[in-house]
Structure 1
Amino acid sequence: MRYFIWILRLAVFVVVLLFALKNTDRVTVRFFVDTLTTDIPLIVVMLACFVAGTLFGLLLTVPASLRRRRELAALRRDLERARAEAVVVPAAATTAPPSSDVVLPMHPL
């Protein structure tokens, strides 16, 4: 599965690179109201948009990643607490066997 993901990433990169190399014309870029930049190669604009989109996508995954880390830490604490209780319980559960006059059921009916 890991190799498949890397092959998919490589394929996307190659497709974007080939698309960018075919579009090397000079363009005029207008930012917001009065900012104007002229004669920028389209490949640079496309690369900047690709990088900005990738960074934005990664930033969107940060909250979920932090939430998973907090949940993992809580589960590890619960596991350690359960292990500590499991060590203590058998020592406390050692009681005397029932006396001979106690009738124990043979079946759980």
Structure 2
Amino acid sequence: MKFIVWLIRVLVFVLLLVLALSNTQPATLNFLAGYAWPAPLILIGLAFFVVGLLAGLVSSMPAMVRLRMENGRLKRELRVARETPVVVEQPPMPPLI
């Protein structure tokens, strides 16, 4: 199974490498205020990928922090629950008639 996973990874890498090498023609990205960025097309694609990756990481940070805080709280509660002795209550005795 690991061989198949590595084979798929290598195939995807080779496919992306061929795609990158075939898109080296220059392209111009025009911004507002007349600013333009001339660069190879693959570099512009890579820049947008990195910006999207960073935006996704930054947007997931509040949820990650909240989950870490909840995880810490639950670990403290579990530690307290393990340290508390368990009191077994005896069932009431049936009435003697």
TM-score range, shorter chain: 0.5 to 0.7
TM superposition score normalised by structure 2: 0.67
RMSD, matched Cα: 3.2
CA-to-aligned-CA distance 1:42-77 (integer Å, 9 cap, x gap): 111111111111222222222221111111100011
CA distance in 2, matches of 1:75, 1:46: 43
> Who is 1:28 aligned against?
28
Aligned residue-pair number: 88
When residues 27 and 20 of structure 1 are mapped into structure 2, their CA distance, relative to the original with a 3 A threshold, is: same
**Is 1:42–2:41 an aligned residue pair?**
yes
Sequence identity, in percent?
Answer: 34
TM superposition score normalised by structure 1: 0.61
Structure 2 gaps of 5+ residues are none
- Which residue type is aligned with residue 59 of structure 1? V
- Which residue type is aligned with residue 104 of structure 1? M
Which has the higher mean CA deviation after the structures are superposed, 76-85 or 10-19?
Answer: 10-19
- Which is higher, the Rg of structure 1 or of structure 2? 1
